[in-house]
Amino acid sequence: MVRRVYTITSIIYSSRAKKEFNFFTLLIDIYLIGSRVKRRVFKTLFGFRLYYSYYLVNCIINSIAKEVEVC
């Protein structure tokens, strides 16, 4: 139930956002990767322009991990 609420909220928020980079959408993407959602799901959602691509989100997570490692 919680995953559905996150997904629906993200879809509504993304459709109303005017900026290209949306922090909330990225946060939901990170949550979905943490929940072990398959790449096929990301490809489908990326095709609808609802989320970022699987590889882009992984690159962002890796850059955050490197920054934390330096600190």
pLDDT in tens, 4-19: 887 777 777 666 655 5
The model carries a pTM of 0.55
Give dist(CA 71, CA 66) in Å, integer: 9
Q: What is the pLDDT along the chain (71 residues), one digit of tens a residue?
A: 777 887 777 777 666 655 555 677 778 888 888 888 888 887 777 777 666 777 788 888 888 888 888 87
- What DSSP string describes 29-66? HHHHHHTT--HHHHHHHHHTTSS--HHHHHHHHHHHHH
- In the block, tokens 């946060």 appear at 27
